[in-house]
Amino acid sequence: MIIRSLYLAACSSLIGLIFLCLAWELRLAPVQTGGSWLALKCLPLLAPLFGILNGRRYSYQWASMLILLYFTEGVVRATTEKGLSQWLAVAETVLSLVFFCAAVGYARLNRPAAS
């Protein structure tokens, strides 16, 4: 039951973060009007997506390290920007923190039994 909850939290927060990054940089509050190249920052999140959705422990392990970049960006932009961008950065921080905790918990509880 706990593993299933961690799986669902990791999947939903990763997918949410992908959509947030795209919406933020293309439509909601882009750095430049009309969208920006920062929308490409969601591409690294697509790399672990298949493994996360299939419950592969190794994908959870390395994606938990990758997500720290998004956590850092969210914290920096939440403290330096104003208005809608600041709130989107807070959402990015929360989603990345949820993913990190869920991924670490999933990888820890899903490890092979010791011999």
* 2-46 confidence digits (pLDDT tens): 999 999 999 999 999 999 999 998 889 887 777 778 889 999 999
Average pLDDT (78-99) is 97
pTM flag (> 0.85): yes
Among left, alpha and beta (phi > 0; psi -120 to 50; other), residue 95 is alpha
* pLDDT value for 115: 62
User: Which pLDDT score, from 0 to 100, does residue 30 have?
Assistant: 85
- Give yes or no for a contact between 26 and 41, defined as CB atoms under 8 angstroms apart: no
For the chain, the structural domain boundaries read 2-109
What DSSP designation does 36 have? -
Mean pLDDT of 51-75: 97
